[in-house]
Amino acid sequence: MLDNKKLTPLSAIGEFGLIKRIQEKVTIQQISTHKAIGDDAAVLEFIGKQILLTTDMLTENVHFNLMYTPLKHLGYKSVIVNLSDICAMNGTPSQITVSLAVSNRFSVEAIDELYEGILLACENYGVDLVGGDTTSSQSGLIISITAIGHANADDVVYRNSAQKGDLVCVTGDLGAAYMGLQLLEREKEIYKANPGIQPDLQGNDYILKRQLKPEARLDIVELMHSLKLKPTAMIDISDGLSSEIMHIGLDSGLGAKIYEAKIPIAEETLKMAVELNIDPTISAMSGGEDYELLFTIRPEDYEKIKNLPDFTVIGTMTDVSDGFKLLTRDGSTVQITSQGYNAFLEQS
């Protein structure tokens, strides 16, 4: 990728040069964007909408590893994780800001690659890059993205409004991103021990894509809108099914019952689970980074979704006294505990 080209140090163009370079690549797509990059603040105008705002910070070697993450993918994913949060409110994302802390170890071309990914995500989701901040860092790369979205007040879906008896639904399939990460980690260790060996990633495109280039389920938000289906509660799966169902349950004052056999898991995920000797249910429950939507619907809305391949009913919301239960394939019941990614537990 960058290896064979002559690289330009960031100091050659400076902060303002870099901002200008970014500004020149931006095309505006939203009518709500009145003024984007170039003044002291962006100016947005939304008429009759509630504004959704979310932000996420990603730190090198904590949230991403540049040994196996191409910068373009990193840029794309950094945007997606934020757009996914807007989707989880049943909203439409419209603008982002991007703030970078970057060390002089990065070249102009490296930042160009990062922005290629950022702007590709913007293009794919119809979102405008309207500002940010650029600063230096002593060592690694830090990316902080804020996404802005909107929804009609009546359409916004919160985590705390599920009702007892509601069906628990999930989109797509789970556990693949975690399995992709395990594969990349395995190949990284092999490479570190013997740099002559080429990584063996063949035939695992799906799980790698789920880890390196995830998507936000804006298509589902739009589909539900056209079906006139409003979930009673919703969250995106960034930390794993266990932790997300517990967020909905605890915030709504309920318990939940999930059927292991119903959890959608892709063929490719199952195959890698066997190869790496990891229980695929654990990767779905605790792996995270799938960026699918987990939501609850009233039982009478089941008719609207029952034939849609992207939706799977995996359980029901129960009384708070029932707690959080996983009914396993062999007929036993296990307590669900929140073992998803925890920002402080995982750091040493």
| Binding-site ranges for Mg ion (CB under 5 A) | 133
- Measured between alpha carbons, how far is residue 260 from residues 8, 54, 198, 321 in Å? 52, 32, 37, 21
Segment near ligand ADP (CB under 6 A); pick from 38-46, 164-172, 304-312, 327-335: 38-46
| 111 forms part of the interface with ligand ADP (CB under 6 A) | no
Task: Considering the complex, state which of residue 133 and residue 222 has its C-beta at the smaller distance from ligand ADP.
Answer: 133
Cβ 118 to Mg ion shortest distance, Å = 17
- Nearest partner of 215 among 181, 245, 176, judged by Cα: 176
What is d(CA 105, CA 78) in angstroms, rounded to the nearest whole number? Answer: 20
Please select the residue that binds ligand ADP; options are 10, 44, 89, 100, rule is CB under 6 A: 100
Binders of ligand ADP: how many residues, by CB under 6 A? Answer: 13
Task: Considering the complex, state which of residue 131 and residue 175 has its C-beta at the smaller distance from ligand ADP.
Answer: 131
| Helix, coil or strand: residue 108 | helix
| 134 forms part of the interface with ligand ADP (CB under 6 A) | yes
| CA terminus-to-terminus distance, the chain | 32
Task: Considering the complex, state which of residue 130 and residue 273 has its C-beta at the smaller distance from ligand ADP.
Answer: 130
CB contact set of 56 (below 8 Å; sequence gap of 6+): 78, 81, 82, 85, 144, 145
Task: Considering the complex, state which of residue 16 and residue 344 has its C-beta at the smaller distance from Mg ion.
Answer: 16
| 132 forms part of the interface with ligand ADP (CB under 6 A) | yes
Structure tokens that stand for 85 in this block: 């949060």
| 86 forms part of the interface with ligand ADP (CB under 6 A) | no
Cβ 152 to ligand ADP shortest distance, Å = 28
Task: Considering the complex, state which of residue 133 and residue 189 has its C-beta at the smaller distance from Mg ion.
Answer: 133
- CB distance 155 to 308 below 8 Å: no
Q: Which of ligand ADP, Mg ion, none does residue 28 bind to, with CB < 5 to 8 Å depending on kind?
A: none
| 87 forms part of the interface with ligand ADP (CB under 6 A) | no
Cβ 238 to Mg ion shortest distance, Å = 28
Q: β-pairing, 128-136 with 92-102? A: parallel
Structure tokens that stand for 31 in this block: 């009518």
Q: Which of ligand ADP, Mg ion, none does residue 40 bind to, with CB < 5 to 8 Å depending on kind?
A: ligand ADP
Structure tokens that stand for 26 in this block: 């931006």
Q: What is the arrangement of strands in the sheet containing 333-335, beginning at the earlier edge strand? A: 233-236, 293-297, 167-171, 311-318, 255-259, 324-327, 333-335
Please select the residue that binds ligand ADP; options are 10, 30, 33, 37, rule is CB under 6 A: 37
In the bound complex, which residue of the shown chain has the CB atom lying closest to ligand ADP?
131
Please select the residue that binds ligand ADP; options are 3, 40, 154, 346, rule is CB under 6 A: 40
How many other C-beta atoms can be found within 10 angstroms of the C-beta atom of residue 89? Answer: 24
Residues that bind ligand ADP (CB under 6 A): 19, 22, 37-40, 98, 100, 129, 131-134
